[in-house]
């Protein structure tokens, strides 16, 4: 048997890789815009990093090496001149020539020991280049300071009879304008990224509009959508509109057919009633009348279940007002009910349709419980309406079956007292038409809790 990909492996490297992959997946953005942005930014950043590394470590180092070589060659020439003639006049003349022609500030110091080597700088390109060139061309003990002054570099060379101190401008030995290249590269990349983000947002917007239209249609709301954007997005939008037209056409055909069936069956049932009214009273006649009444009730319930009240348009509704109406109707029927609404939520729904859904659940609670609590709460993403009762409840393994049409679990709920078995089926059909659902849970009151979830 093949092992599942989620099963732990005996190889610790594979397990570590899987853990790292799961962690990386959890940290990655979930939105299409953010992911597409990463796809654009990541190559640009990687390319810039490679170019900057190559430039700074190769081109920059090569230029600095050559500039340092020029400075060291000048210093070596000055040392050769001083070694030939150490007279004060000759030394003074050499110092002036070095200052005027070479840009080097020279000072002949008394013989002695060189200072202790200082710490190497973090970016040691100049330090390494000068050290290599002095060691190759001058070949005398030396000491350099490239960290102190930002504009000058100090070099001391031990000549035996004296110490030559040289102050040179950093720009003479160091490619100091490299940051300009980096600034131009980063600046141009930022401009290109801003342009890419603007264009990417325009490409993502049609996808978001399509998703919003599909979500609104799934909640049973009016949809105003026109395909736009890239060719593939427009194709998906056209397919969505065609699907919506097919669904609406199928619903219209079903509604028209059910209206015709309703009219024909009601006509026949009316004839039955007239015929029975003209017959003499008898126990058999009374039974027939009950059968006709039950047929009428089942027909109306089935038509309501199949029709689904699609013609009603969704609109913003105050849930507290809606539940107050349900409570008033329930109390007029002689049942006591408690209402508890958190805040004053306003949700876009088909009012009459959702009211019927709630009434069906409240009616079911009336038949099997003596205490009813109707509550509602909205968490920003969905509206939850709870109908609790203290009745016998429904076993958990049978809760899925009660949503099937014409299914009644309790044999005591006979046809004359328990209805046609379509109440919960109609309630779930209405909730799903709003993009939600109806769930059956255990009630805090000991009976059954029917929960309507409607996305907002």
Phi, psi of 383 (to 5 degrees): -100, 130
CATH 1.10.287.130 fits 231-305, yes or no: yes
Give me the CATH code for the 314-455 domain, please: 3.30.565.10
Q: pLDDT tens digits for the chain (456 residues)?
A: 444 445 555 677 787 888 888 887 777 777 777 778 888 888 888 887 787 777 766 777 787 788 888 889 999 999 889 888 888 888 889 889 988 888 888 988 888 888 887 666 655 667 778 888 888 888 889 988 876 556 788 889 998 888 999 988 877 777 666 667 677 777 888 888 888 888 888 888 888 899 888 888 877 777 788 888 888 888 999 999 999 889 888 877 877 777 777 777 878 888 888 888 888 777 778 878 887 887 777 777 666 655 555 556 788 999 999 999 999 988 888 888 999 998 889 998 888 888 888 988 998 888 888 889 999 999 888 999 999 999 888 888 888 888 877 666 654 333 344 455 677 888 888 888 888 899 999 999 888 999 999 988
Distance CA 18, CA 181 (A): 41
pLDDT digits (tens, 9 = 90+) for 193-214: 888 888 888 888 888 899 888 8
- CA gap 78, 245 in Å, rounded: 93
| Residue spans in the chain of domains classed CATH 1.10.287.130 | 231-305
Contacts of 434-437 with CB under 8 Å at 24 or more apart are: 434/219, 434/220, 434/314, 434/349, 434/350, 434/353, 434/354, 435/215, 435/218, 435/219, 435/220, 436/382
Within a 13 Å sphere around the CA of 290, how many CA atoms are in the beta-carbon half? 9
The pLDDT of residue 3: 45
The boundaries of every CATH 3.30.565.10 domain in the chain are: 314-455
Give residue 330's Cα distance to chain centre.
44
**Residue whose C-alpha is closest to residue 386's, from 336, 333, 444:** 444
Q: How far apart are alpha carbons 436 and 449 in whole angstroms?
A: 16
Domain 54-176, CATH: 3.30.450.300
């Amino acid at each position: 048997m093949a092992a599942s990909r989620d099963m732990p492996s005996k190889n610790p490297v594979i397990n570590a890789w899987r853990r790292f992959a799961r962690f990386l997946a959890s940290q990655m953005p979930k939105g299409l815009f953010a992911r597409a942005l990463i796809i654009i930014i990541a190559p640009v950043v990687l390319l810039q990093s490679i170019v900057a590394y190559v430039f700074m470590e190769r081109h920059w180092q090569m230029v600095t090496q050559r500039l340092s070589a020029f400075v060291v060659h000048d210093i070596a020439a000055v040392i050769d001149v001083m070694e030939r003639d150490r007279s004060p006049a000759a030394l003074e003349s050499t110092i002036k020539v070095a200052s005027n022609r070479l840009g080097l500030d020279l000072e002949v110091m008394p013989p002695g020991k060189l200072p202790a080597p200082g710490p190497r700088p973090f970016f040691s390109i100049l330090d390494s280049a000068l050290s290599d060139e002095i060691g190759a061309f001058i070949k005398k003990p030396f000491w350099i300071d490239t960290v102190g002054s930002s504009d000058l570099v100090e070099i001391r060379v031990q000549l035996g009879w004296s110490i030559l101190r040289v102050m040179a401008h950093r720009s003479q030995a160091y490619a100091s304008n490299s940051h300009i290249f980096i600034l131009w590269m980063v600046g141009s990349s930022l401009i290109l990224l801003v342009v890419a983000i603007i264009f990417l947002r325009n490409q993502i917007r049609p996808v978001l509009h399509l998703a919003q239209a599909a979500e609104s249609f799934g909640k049973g709301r009016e949809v105003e959508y026109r395909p736009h954007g890239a060719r593939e997005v427009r194709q998906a939008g056209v397919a969505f509109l065609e699907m919506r037209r097919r669904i609406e056409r199928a619903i219209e055909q079903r509604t028209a057919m059910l209206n015709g069936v309703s009219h024909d069956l009601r006509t026949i049932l009316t004839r039955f009633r007239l015929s029975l009214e003209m017959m003499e009273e008898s126990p058999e006649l009374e039974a027939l009348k009950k059968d006709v009444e039950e047929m009428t009730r089942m027909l109306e319930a089935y038509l309501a279940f199949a029709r689904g009240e699609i013609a009603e348009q969704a609109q913003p509704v105050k849930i507290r007002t809606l539940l107050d109406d349900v409570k008033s109707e329930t109390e007029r029927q002689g049942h006591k009910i408690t209402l508890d609404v958190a805040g004053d939520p306003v949700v876009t729904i088909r009012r009459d349709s959702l009211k019927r859904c709630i009434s069906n659940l409240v009616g079911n609670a009336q038949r099997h419980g003596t205490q009813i609590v109707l509550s509602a709460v909205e968490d920003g993403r969905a509206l939850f309406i709870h109908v609790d009762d203290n009745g016998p409840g429904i076993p958990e393994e049978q809760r899925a079956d009660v949503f099937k049409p014409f299914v009644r679990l309790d044999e005591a709920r006979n046809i004359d007292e328990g209805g046609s078995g379509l109440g919960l089926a109609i309630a779930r059909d209405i909730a799903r038409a709003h993009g939600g659902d109806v769930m059956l849970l255990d009630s805090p009151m000991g009976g059954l809790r029917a929960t309507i979830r409607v996305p907002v």
